[in-house]
């Protein structure tokens, strides 16, 4: 019974422990209806950020200061990148549709 409880308790875990014992984290930003969702995320330095495009047109997620750029993310495509390792606030846009914007806060 103890094994069953331990197994069912682990289902709610959203991060996976790496070889070093630290938890590997990731955040997902979804593009839909020409908007980033969520528009603001807070992450750890170097955390993985997954970008999923649910629109029928291509988008990018590009830091206005040049720190990161997914390149083109087509319809139903996914790109992953690492957040900057330097703490701070990073504004981003879609290079194709520059009215689309968001913010990544590295704490």
How many helices and strands, by DSSP H and E, does the chain display? Answer: 1, 10
pLDDT-derived band at 25 (thresholds 50, 70, 90) equals: confident
Query: Which fold does the domain 23-106 belong to in CATH?
Result: Immunoglobulin-like (2.60.40)
Look at residues 89, 33, 86, 90 and name the one whose alpha carbon lies nearest to residue 61.
90
Q: Please name every residue paired with 29 in a beta bridge, in sequence order, or none if there are none.
A: 51
Sequence-separated (6 or more) residues with CB below 8 Å from residue 101 = 36, 39, 91, 92, 93, 94
Q: What pLDDT score does 27 carry?
A: 97
Residue-range domain boundaries for the chain: 23-106
pLDDT-derived band at 79 (thresholds 50, 70, 90) equals: very high
State pTM to two decimals.
Answer: 0.77
């Amino acid at each position: 019974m103890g094994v069953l409880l331990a197994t069912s308790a682990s289902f709610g875990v959203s991060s996976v422990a790496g070889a070093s014992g630290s938890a590997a984290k990731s955040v997902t930003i979804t593009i839909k209806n020409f908007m980033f969702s969520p528009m603001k995320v807070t992450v750890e330095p170097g955390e993985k950020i997954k970008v999923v495009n649910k629109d029928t047109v291509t988008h990018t997620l590009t830091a206005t200061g040049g720190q990161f750029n997914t390149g083109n993310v087509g319809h139903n495509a996914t790109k992953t990148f690492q957040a900057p390792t330097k703490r701070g606030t990073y504004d981003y846009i879609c290079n194709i549709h520059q009215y689309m914007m968001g913010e990544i806060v590295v704490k």
